[in-house]
Amino acid sequence: MGTLSLPRKVSVLGSTGSIGVSTLDLFAQAGVEVEIVGLTAGRNVARLAEQAIRWRPKVAVIEDETALPELRDRLKGTGIEAAAGAEAVRDVAAADAQWVMSAIVGFAGLAPTLAAAKAGAVIALANKESLVCAGPSLLRTAKLAGGAVVPVDSEHSAIFQVLDPAIADSVSRLILTSSGGPFRDATRAQMAAATPDQALAHPNFSMGAKISIDSATMMNKGLEVIEAAYLFSMPPERIEVLVHPQQIIHSLVEYADGSTLAQLGPPDMRPPIACAFAWPDRLPWPAPKLDLVTAGPLTFQHPDPDKFPALAIAKQALAAGGQAPAVMNAANERAVAAFLDRRIAFLDIPNVVAETLERVDSGSTRSWRDDDAVERARGADAEARRVADDVVAGVFAA
Ligand code: NAD
Ligand code: MG
Protein backbone atom coordinates (compact mmCIF):
# COMPACT_ATOMS: atom_id res chain seq x y z
CA MET A 1 0.00 0.00 0.00
CA GLY A 2 3.12 2.16 0.13
CA THR A 3 2.52 3.91 -3.18
CA LEU A 4 -1.01 5.00 -2.34
CA SER A 5 -1.58 8.51 -1.15
CA LEU A 6 -4.33 8.15 1.41
CA PRO A 7 -5.70 10.68 3.88
CA ARG A 8 -4.28 10.12 7.32
CA LYS A 9 -6.15 12.48 9.61
CA VAL A 10 -9.86 11.80 9.37
CA SER A 11 -13.12 12.52 11.19
CA VAL A 12 -16.37 10.61 11.01
CA LEU A 13 -19.53 12.64 11.61
CA GLY A 14 -22.43 10.33 12.42
CA SER A 15 -20.07 7.48 13.29
CA THR A 16 -22.74 5.39 15.05
CA GLY A 17 -25.10 5.23 12.07
CA SER A 18 -25.24 2.80 9.20
CA ILE A 19 -22.72 4.72 7.03
CA GLY A 20 -20.52 5.65 10.01
CA VAL A 21 -20.25 2.01 11.09
CA SER A 22 -19.51 0.92 7.50
CA THR A 23 -16.76 3.57 7.30
CA LEU A 24 -14.99 2.33 10.42
CA ASP A 25 -15.49 -1.26 9.30
CA LEU A 26 -13.83 -0.42 5.99
CA PHE A 27 -10.87 1.15 7.79
CA ALA A 28 -10.52 -2.00 9.88
CA GLN A 29 -10.81 -4.38 6.94
CA ALA A 30 -8.43 -2.38 4.77
CA GLY A 31 -5.97 -2.08 7.64
CA VAL A 32 -5.37 1.59 6.84
CA GLU A 33 -3.47 3.66 9.35
CA VAL A 34 -5.76 6.53 10.19
CA GLU A 35 -5.47 9.05 12.94
CA ILE A 36 -9.00 9.91 13.98
CA VAL A 37 -9.51 13.54 14.91
CA GLY A 38 -13.14 13.20 15.95
CA LEU A 39 -16.11 10.85 16.08
CA THR A 40 -19.58 12.31 16.52
CA ALA A 41 -23.03 10.87 17.22
CA GLY A 42 -26.54 12.09 17.94
CA ARG A 43 -27.76 10.06 20.93
CA ASN A 44 -26.16 6.63 20.89
CA VAL A 45 -23.64 7.22 23.66
CA ALA A 46 -22.87 3.54 24.29
CA ARG A 47 -21.86 2.86 20.70
CA LEU A 48 -19.96 6.14 20.44
CA ALA A 49 -17.91 5.32 23.54
CA GLU A 50 -17.22 1.81 22.28
CA GLN A 51 -16.02 3.20 18.93
CA ALA A 52 -13.90 5.82 20.68
CA ILE A 53 -12.19 3.22 22.84
CA ARG A 54 -11.43 1.15 19.73
CA TRP A 55 -10.37 4.05 17.46
CA ARG A 56 -8.82 6.54 19.91
CA PRO A 57 -10.02 9.85 18.43
CA LYS A 58 -8.81 13.10 19.98
CA VAL A 59 -12.44 13.94 20.75
CA ALA A 60 -15.78 12.13 20.85
CA VAL A 61 -18.88 14.31 20.59
CA ILE A 62 -22.46 13.48 21.45
CA GLU A 63 -24.98 15.97 20.08
CA ASP A 64 -27.44 15.27 22.90
CA GLU A 65 -26.07 17.36 25.77
CA THR A 66 -27.89 15.36 28.44
CA ALA A 67 -25.70 12.38 27.51
CA LEU A 68 -22.41 14.15 28.26
CA PRO A 69 -22.01 12.87 31.84
CA GLU A 70 -22.45 9.30 30.62
CA LEU A 71 -19.97 9.82 27.78
CA ARG A 72 -17.43 11.30 30.22
CA ASP A 73 -17.98 8.39 32.52
CA ARG A 74 -17.49 5.79 29.79
CA LEU A 75 -14.32 7.51 28.53
CA LYS A 76 -12.81 8.08 31.98
CA GLY A 77 -9.10 7.32 32.05
CA THR A 78 -8.79 6.96 28.26
CA GLY A 79 -7.42 10.45 27.61
CA ILE A 80 -10.11 10.95 24.97
CA GLU A 81 -11.85 14.29 25.26
CA ALA A 82 -15.66 14.10 25.59
CA ALA A 83 -17.83 16.96 24.33
CA ALA A 84 -21.51 17.59 23.59
CA GLY A 85 -23.86 19.78 21.60
CA ALA A 86 -24.36 20.86 18.00
CA GLU A 87 -21.59 23.43 18.23
CA ALA A 88 -19.10 20.81 19.39
CA VAL A 89 -20.08 18.64 16.41
CA ARG A 90 -19.37 21.62 14.16
CA ASP A 91 -16.02 22.22 15.86
CA VAL A 92 -14.97 18.66 15.08
CA ALA A 93 -16.00 19.16 11.46
CA ALA A 94 -13.92 22.34 11.30
CA ALA A 95 -10.85 20.78 12.97
CA ASP A 96 -7.76 19.75 11.05
CA ALA A 97 -8.85 16.46 9.47
CA GLN A 98 -7.89 16.04 5.82
CA TRP A 99 -10.89 13.82 5.16
CA VAL A 100 -14.31 14.13 6.76
CA MET A 101 -17.05 11.53 6.42
CA SER A 102 -20.32 13.48 6.49
CA ALA A 103 -22.83 10.85 7.61
CA ILE A 104 -25.21 12.66 9.93
CA VAL A 105 -28.81 12.19 8.81
CA GLY A 106 -31.00 15.10 7.76
CA PHE A 107 -30.74 18.89 7.90
CA ALA A 108 -28.66 18.56 11.09
CA GLY A 109 -25.76 17.56 8.84
CA LEU A 110 -25.64 20.86 6.95
CA ALA A 111 -23.82 23.13 9.41
CA PRO A 112 -21.06 20.60 10.20
CA THR A 113 -20.63 19.72 6.52
CA LEU A 114 -20.31 23.38 5.60
CA ALA A 115 -17.80 23.84 8.44
CA ALA A 116 -15.70 21.00 7.00
CA ALA A 117 -15.97 22.62 3.56
CA LYS A 118 -14.74 25.96 4.93
CA ALA A 119 -11.82 24.17 6.54
CA GLY A 120 -10.76 22.84 3.15
CA ALA A 121 -11.19 19.16 3.96
CA VAL A 122 -12.07 16.51 1.42
CA ILE A 123 -15.68 15.74 2.31
CA ALA A 124 -16.97 12.24 1.72
CA LEU A 125 -20.61 13.18 1.41
CA ALA A 126 -23.29 10.74 2.49
CA ASN A 127 -25.52 13.44 4.03
CA LYS A 128 -27.45 14.21 0.84
CA GLU A 129 -29.79 16.57 2.71
CA SER A 130 -27.01 19.17 3.05
CA LEU A 131 -26.57 19.27 -0.72
CA VAL A 132 -30.32 19.47 -1.23
CA CYS A 133 -30.63 22.40 1.19
CA ALA A 134 -27.54 24.40 0.19
CA GLY A 135 -25.84 22.54 -2.67
CA PRO A 136 -24.41 25.37 -4.76
CA SER A 137 -23.03 27.19 -1.69
CA LEU A 138 -21.57 24.04 -0.22
CA LEU A 139 -19.79 23.13 -3.46
CA ARG A 140 -18.45 26.66 -4.02
CA THR A 141 -17.26 26.90 -0.41
CA ALA A 142 -15.38 23.61 -0.64
CA LYS A 143 -13.74 24.59 -3.92
CA LEU A 144 -12.73 28.03 -2.68
CA ALA A 145 -11.12 26.54 0.43
CA GLY A 146 -9.11 24.06 -1.64
CA GLY A 147 -11.14 21.03 -0.54
CA ALA A 148 -13.55 18.85 -2.44
CA VAL A 149 -16.88 17.08 -2.12
CA VAL A 150 -16.71 13.43 -3.13
CA PRO A 151 -20.09 11.70 -3.19
CA VAL A 152 -20.69 8.55 -1.15
CA ASP A 153 -24.31 8.02 -2.15
CA SER A 154 -23.88 4.96 -4.38
CA GLU A 155 -25.62 6.47 -7.43
CA HIS A 156 -23.54 9.63 -7.31
CA SER A 157 -20.38 7.70 -6.61
CA ALA A 158 -21.16 5.68 -9.74
CA ILE A 159 -21.63 8.82 -11.84
CA PHE A 160 -18.56 10.44 -10.27
CA GLN A 161 -16.54 7.40 -11.35
CA VAL A 162 -17.71 7.33 -14.98
CA LEU A 163 -18.31 11.01 -15.76
CA ASP A 164 -15.21 12.58 -17.23
CA PRO A 165 -15.44 16.28 -16.18
CA ALA A 166 -13.32 17.29 -19.18
CA ILE A 167 -16.15 16.24 -21.51
CA ALA A 168 -19.11 17.04 -19.24
CA ASP A 169 -20.65 19.04 -22.12
CA SER A 170 -21.02 15.80 -24.05
CA VAL A 171 -23.23 14.18 -21.43
CA SER A 172 -26.79 13.84 -22.69
CA ARG A 173 -28.36 12.15 -19.65
CA LEU A 174 -27.70 10.87 -16.18
CA ILE A 175 -29.64 7.75 -15.30
CA LEU A 176 -30.05 7.12 -11.57
CA THR A 177 -31.02 3.60 -10.62
CA SER A 178 -33.29 2.74 -7.71
CA SER A 179 -34.14 -0.54 -6.02
CA GLY A 180 -37.79 0.52 -6.09
CA GLY A 181 -37.89 0.01 -2.33
CA PRO A 182 -40.12 -2.37 -0.39
CA PHE A 183 -43.27 -1.29 -2.30
CA ARG A 184 -41.92 -1.78 -5.81
CA ASP A 185 -44.48 -4.50 -6.52
CA ALA A 186 -47.18 -3.36 -4.08
CA THR A 187 -50.47 -1.83 -5.14
CA ARG A 188 -51.42 1.70 -4.11
CA ALA A 189 -54.04 0.18 -1.83
CA GLN A 190 -51.39 -1.91 -0.09
CA MET A 191 -49.18 1.16 0.26
CA ALA A 192 -52.07 3.13 1.78
CA ALA A 193 -52.26 0.59 4.60
CA ALA A 194 -48.48 0.16 5.05
CA THR A 195 -47.13 0.06 8.60
CA PRO A 196 -43.76 1.53 9.65
CA ASP A 197 -42.33 -2.00 9.92
CA GLN A 198 -43.31 -2.84 6.35
CA ALA A 199 -41.94 0.47 5.07
CA LEU A 200 -38.65 0.01 6.95
CA ALA A 201 -37.97 -3.38 5.34
CA HIS A 202 -35.67 -2.39 2.49
CA PRO A 203 -35.07 -5.29 0.08
CA ASN A 204 -31.25 -5.08 -0.21
CA PHE A 205 -29.81 -2.80 2.47
CA SER A 206 -29.97 -2.22 6.20
CA MET A 207 -29.94 1.56 6.56
CA GLY A 208 -31.03 4.25 9.01
CA ALA A 209 -34.79 4.64 9.55
CA LYS A 210 -35.13 7.97 7.74
CA ILE A 211 -33.48 6.90 4.49
CA SER A 212 -35.35 3.58 4.65
CA ILE A 213 -38.70 5.40 4.64
CA ASP A 214 -37.38 7.74 1.93
CA SER A 215 -36.57 4.65 -0.14
CA ALA A 216 -40.10 3.35 0.34
CA THR A 217 -41.70 6.63 -0.85
CA MET A 218 -38.90 7.13 -3.41
CA MET A 219 -38.34 10.58 -1.91
CA ASN A 220 -34.82 9.24 -1.51
CA LYS A 221 -34.53 9.18 -5.30
CA GLY A 222 -36.12 12.64 -5.43
CA LEU A 223 -33.44 13.96 -3.05
CA GLU A 224 -30.85 12.19 -5.20
CA VAL A 225 -32.08 13.87 -8.40
CA ILE A 226 -31.46 17.23 -6.71
CA GLU A 227 -28.13 16.00 -5.37
CA ALA A 228 -27.09 14.94 -8.89
CA ALA A 229 -28.26 18.20 -10.45
CA TYR A 230 -26.00 20.18 -8.11
CA LEU A 231 -23.02 17.83 -8.06
CA PHE A 232 -22.86 17.41 -11.83
CA SER A 233 -24.44 20.72 -12.99
CA MET A 234 -27.20 18.92 -14.84
CA PRO A 235 -30.70 20.31 -15.53
CA PRO A 236 -33.61 18.26 -14.11
CA GLU A 237 -34.89 17.25 -17.55
CA ARG A 238 -31.64 15.43 -18.25
CA ILE A 239 -31.81 13.29 -15.12
CA GLU A 240 -33.81 10.10 -15.37
CA VAL A 241 -34.67 7.49 -12.76
CA LEU A 242 -34.98 3.79 -13.53
CA VAL A 243 -36.02 1.06 -11.14
CA HIS A 244 -33.41 -1.71 -11.08
CA PRO A 245 -34.32 -4.19 -8.35
CA GLN A 246 -31.00 -6.07 -8.28
CA GLN A 247 -29.00 -2.90 -7.42
CA ILE A 248 -25.97 -4.09 -9.36
CA ILE A 249 -25.73 -1.15 -11.76
CA HIS A 250 -25.47 1.87 -9.46
CA SER A 251 -26.09 4.52 -12.14
CA LEU A 252 -25.23 5.40 -15.73
CA VAL A 253 -23.97 8.30 -17.80
CA GLU A 254 -25.17 8.60 -21.38
CA TYR A 255 -22.98 10.55 -23.79
CA ALA A 256 -24.07 12.45 -26.91
CA ASP A 257 -22.47 9.87 -29.22
CA GLY A 258 -24.78 7.11 -28.00
CA SER A 259 -22.33 5.49 -25.61
CA THR A 260 -23.56 4.79 -22.08
CA LEU A 261 -21.16 4.10 -19.20
CA ALA A 262 -22.28 2.30 -16.07
CA GLN A 263 -20.66 1.47 -12.75
CA LEU A 264 -21.36 -1.95 -11.23
CA GLY A 265 -20.82 -3.55 -7.87
CA PRO A 266 -22.55 -5.63 -5.22
CA PRO A 267 -25.14 -3.76 -3.13
CA ASP A 268 -22.77 -2.67 -0.35
CA MET A 269 -21.91 0.88 0.79
CA ARG A 270 -18.28 0.12 1.59
CA PRO A 271 -17.01 0.28 -2.03
CA PRO A 272 -18.35 3.83 -2.56
CA ILE A 273 -16.90 4.81 0.83
CA ALA A 274 -13.55 3.27 -0.22
CA CYS A 275 -13.73 5.18 -3.48
CA ALA A 276 -14.30 8.48 -1.66
CA PHE A 277 -11.49 7.66 0.77
CA ALA A 278 -8.77 6.83 -1.74
CA TRP A 279 -9.83 8.91 -4.75
CA PRO A 280 -8.20 9.19 -7.28
CA ASP A 281 -6.42 6.04 -6.08
CA ARG A 282 -8.15 2.72 -5.39
CA LEU A 283 -8.10 1.23 -1.92
CA PRO A 284 -7.22 -2.45 -1.78
CA TRP A 285 -9.33 -4.30 0.79
CA PRO A 286 -11.02 -7.71 0.92
CA ALA A 287 -14.09 -6.37 -0.86
CA PRO A 288 -16.99 -8.64 -1.73
CA LYS A 289 -16.59 -8.88 -5.51
CA LEU A 290 -19.33 -8.90 -8.08
CA ASP A 291 -20.08 -12.28 -9.64
CA LEU A 292 -22.10 -11.54 -12.76
CA VAL A 293 -22.97 -15.19 -13.32
CA THR A 294 -24.66 -15.62 -9.95
CA ALA A 295 -26.06 -12.05 -9.94
CA GLY A 296 -28.73 -13.27 -12.37
CA PRO A 297 -30.62 -11.19 -14.91
CA LEU A 298 -30.48 -7.42 -14.53
CA THR A 299 -33.90 -5.83 -15.05
CA PHE A 300 -35.14 -2.26 -15.42
CA GLN A 301 -38.48 -0.51 -15.38
CA HIS A 302 -39.88 3.01 -15.16
CA PRO A 303 -41.04 4.10 -11.70
CA ASP A 304 -44.83 4.32 -11.35
CA PRO A 305 -45.66 8.04 -10.90
CA ASP A 306 -48.98 7.26 -9.20
CA LYS A 307 -47.32 5.15 -6.53
CA PHE A 308 -44.31 7.43 -6.12
CA PRO A 309 -45.40 11.09 -6.47
CA ALA A 310 -42.32 12.17 -4.46
CA LEU A 311 -40.19 11.95 -7.59
CA ALA A 312 -42.22 14.57 -9.45
CA ILE A 313 -42.44 16.74 -6.32
CA ALA A 314 -38.64 16.78 -6.06
CA LYS A 315 -38.18 17.67 -9.72
CA GLN A 316 -40.65 20.53 -9.31
CA ALA A 317 -38.85 21.80 -6.19
CA LEU A 318 -35.55 21.70 -8.07
CA ALA A 319 -37.02 23.61 -11.01
CA ALA A 320 -38.67 26.16 -8.66
CA GLY A 321 -35.27 26.95 -7.14
CA GLY A 322 -34.82 29.37 -4.27
CA GLN A 323 -35.38 27.59 -0.98
CA ALA A 324 -37.89 25.11 -2.42
CA PRO A 325 -35.54 22.10 -2.08
CA ALA A 326 -34.86 23.03 1.58
CA VAL A 327 -38.60 23.42 2.21
CA MET A 328 -39.24 20.06 0.58
CA ASN A 329 -36.55 18.40 2.65
CA ALA A 330 -37.81 19.83 5.94
CA ALA A 331 -41.42 18.87 5.19
CA ASN A 332 -40.26 15.37 4.31
CA GLU A 333 -38.28 15.02 7.56
CA ARG A 334 -41.37 15.99 9.56
CA ALA A 335 -43.69 13.78 7.52
CA VAL A 336 -41.37 10.77 7.90
CA ALA A 337 -41.20 11.34 11.67
CA ALA A 338 -45.01 11.61 11.83
CA PHE A 339 -45.39 8.38 9.86
CA LEU A 340 -42.93 6.54 12.11
CA ASP A 341 -44.97 7.84 15.10
CA ARG A 342 -48.10 6.48 13.40
CA ARG A 343 -49.65 9.95 13.23
CA ILE A 344 -50.13 9.85 9.45
CA ALA A 345 -50.51 7.11 6.86
CA PHE A 346 -47.76 6.13 4.45
CA LEU A 347 -49.31 7.85 1.41
CA ASP A 348 -49.79 11.03 3.44
CA ILE A 349 -46.01 11.56 3.39
CA PRO A 350 -45.82 12.98 -0.17
CA ASN A 351 -49.10 14.83 0.39
CA VAL A 352 -47.68 16.63 3.44
CA VAL A 353 -44.59 17.56 1.42
CA ALA A 354 -46.59 18.85 -1.56
CA GLU A 355 -48.98 20.81 0.67
CA THR A 356 -46.09 22.39 2.59
CA LEU A 357 -44.39 23.43 -0.65
CA GLU A 358 -47.71 24.97 -1.69
CA ARG A 359 -48.04 26.99 1.52
CA VAL A 360 -44.47 28.20 2.07
CA ASP A 361 -43.13 31.02 -0.07
CA SER A 362 -39.67 29.74 -0.88
CA GLY A 363 -38.47 32.66 -3.02
CA SER A 364 -37.08 32.24 -6.47
CA THR A 365 -33.48 33.31 -6.34
CA ARG A 366 -30.37 31.36 -5.55
CA SER A 367 -28.07 34.37 -5.58
CA TRP A 368 -27.54 34.77 -1.84
CA ARG A 369 -24.05 35.03 -0.43
CA ASP A 370 -22.47 31.70 0.40
CA ASP A 371 -21.73 32.99 3.92
CA ASP A 372 -25.45 33.13 4.54
CA ALA A 373 -26.22 29.70 3.13
CA VAL A 374 -26.81 27.97 6.43
CA GLU A 375 -28.83 30.85 7.87
CA ARG A 376 -31.01 31.11 4.79
CA ALA A 377 -31.56 27.38 4.64
CA ARG A 378 -32.19 27.31 8.39
CA GLY A 379 -34.89 29.96 8.02
CA ALA A 380 -36.62 28.05 5.25
CA ASP A 381 -36.17 24.79 7.14
CA ALA A 382 -37.71 26.16 10.38
CA GLU A 383 -40.68 27.72 8.57
CA ALA A 384 -41.30 24.55 6.55
CA ARG A 385 -41.16 22.42 9.72
CA ARG A 386 -43.81 24.58 11.37
CA VAL A 387 -46.07 24.44 8.32
CA ALA A 388 -45.55 20.72 7.82
CA ASP A 389 -46.46 20.08 11.47
CA ASP A 390 -49.68 22.05 10.90
CA VAL A 391 -50.44 20.02 7.79
CA VAL A 392 -49.77 16.80 9.72
CA ALA A 393 -52.08 17.97 12.51
CA GLY A 394 -54.75 18.66 9.87
CA VAL A 395 -54.36 15.18 8.39
CA PHE A 396 -54.60 13.71 11.86
CA ALA A 397 -57.74 15.70 12.73
CA ALA A 398 -59.46 14.66 9.49
P1 NAD B 1 -28.41 6.57 10.57
O2 NAD B 1 -29.69 7.05 11.12
O3 NAD B 1 -28.09 5.13 10.62
O4 NAD B 1 -27.20 7.37 11.24
C5 NAD B 1 -27.22 8.76 11.41
C6 NAD B 1 -26.04 9.23 12.24
O7 NAD B 1 -26.23 10.63 12.52
C8 NAD B 1 -25.94 8.55 13.61
O9 NAD B 1 -24.59 8.47 13.98
C10 NAD B 1 -26.68 9.51 14.53
O11 NAD B 1 -26.28 9.38 15.87
C12 NAD B 1 -26.28 10.83 13.94
N13 NAD B 1 -27.24 11.91 14.20
C14 NAD B 1 -28.59 11.84 14.08
N15 NAD B 1 -29.15 13.03 14.38
C16 NAD B 1 -28.14 13.86 14.67
C17 NAD B 1 -28.06 15.24 15.05
N18 NAD B 1 -29.18 15.99 15.20
N19 NAD B 1 -26.85 15.79 15.27
C20 NAD B 1 -25.72 15.06 15.14
N21 NAD B 1 -25.73 13.76 14.79
C22 NAD B 1 -26.91 13.17 14.55
O23 NAD B 1 -28.37 7.08 9.04
P24 NAD B 1 -27.56 6.46 7.82
O25 NAD B 1 -28.39 5.42 7.14
O26 NAD B 1 -26.16 6.13 8.22
O27 NAD B 1 -27.54 7.72 6.84
C28 NAD B 1 -26.69 8.83 7.08
C29 NAD B 1 -26.75 9.75 5.86
O30 NAD B 1 -26.21 9.04 4.75
C31 NAD B 1 -28.17 10.16 5.45
O32 NAD B 1 -28.14 11.47 4.97
C33 NAD B 1 -28.52 9.19 4.35
O34 NAD B 1 -29.44 9.72 3.43
C35 NAD B 1 -27.15 9.00 3.69
N36 NAD B 1 -27.00 7.72 2.97
C37 NAD B 1 -27.13 6.54 3.65
C38 NAD B 1 -27.01 5.33 2.98
C39 NAD B 1 -27.10 4.01 3.71
O40 NAD B 1 -26.89 2.97 3.08
N41 NAD B 1 -27.38 3.97 4.98
C42 NAD B 1 -26.77 5.33 1.61
C43 NAD B 1 -26.65 6.55 0.93
C44 NAD B 1 -26.77 7.75 1.65
MG1 MG C 1 -28.44 6.36 -2.91
List per-residue pLDDT tens for the chain, 398 residues long: 457 889 999 999 999 999 999 999 999 999 999 999 999 999 999 999 999 999 999 999 999 999 999 999 999 999 999 999 999 999 999 999 999 999 999 999 999 999 999 999 999 999 999 999 999 999 999 999 999 999 999 999 999 999 999 999 999 999 999 999 999 999 999 999 999 999 999 877 789 999 999 999 999 999 999 999 999 999 999 999 999 999 999 999 999 999 999 999 999 999 999 999 999 999 999 999 999 999 989 999 999 999 999 999 999 999 999 999 999 999 999 999 999 999 999 999 999 999 999 999 887 555 567 778 888 899 999 999 999 999 999 987 76
Q: Does the beta carbon of 329 sit less than 6 angstroms from any atom of ligand 1?
A: no
Domain locations in the chain as residue ranges = 9-151, 165-265+294-397
Burial 118-152 (b: 16+ CB within 10 A, else e): bbbbbbbbbbbbbbbbbbebbbebbeeeebbbbbb
Residue 383's nearest CA partner among 318, 314, 324 is 324
Q: Does the beta carbon of 42 sit less than 6 angstroms from any atom of ligand 1?
A: yes
Q: Which amino acid is at 392?
A: V
Q: Taking the CA atoms of the chain, what radius of gyration do you get in angstroms? A: 20
DSSP 123: E
Ligand 1 atom 19: residue of nearest CA = 42
Cβ count near 340 (within 10 Å): 16
Residue 374's nearest CA partner among 145, 142, 151, 130 is 130
Number of the ligand closest to the Cα of 39: 1
SS3 content of the chain, % helix, strand, coil (to 5): 50, 15, 35
What residues have their beta carbon closer than 5 A to ion ligand 2?
Answer: 153-155
Q: What is the pLDDT of residues 85-119, one digit of tens each?
A: 999 999 999 999 999 999 999 999 999 999 999 99
Test site for ligand 1: of 11, 12, 13, 18, most ligand atoms within 8 A of the Cβ = 18
Residue 338 C-alpha to ligand 1 middle, in angstroms?
Answer: 18
Residue 338 C-alpha to ligand 2 middle, in angstroms?
Answer: 23
Those residues whose C-beta lies under 8 Å from the C-beta of residue 76, and which sit 6 or more positions away, are: none
- In words, the CATH class of domain 9-151 is alpha beta
Domain 165-265+294-397 has CATH 3.30.70.120: no
Q: How far is residue 200's CA from residue 336's CA, in Å, rounded to a whole number? A: 11
Residue 218's nearest CA partner among 241, 192, 193, 249 is 241
Ligand 1 atom 30: residue of nearest CA = 126
Q: What is the pLDDT of residues 233-270, one digit of tens each?
A: 999 999 999 999 999 999 999 999 999 999 999 999 99
Residue 393 C-alpha to ligand 2 middle, in angstroms?
Answer: 31
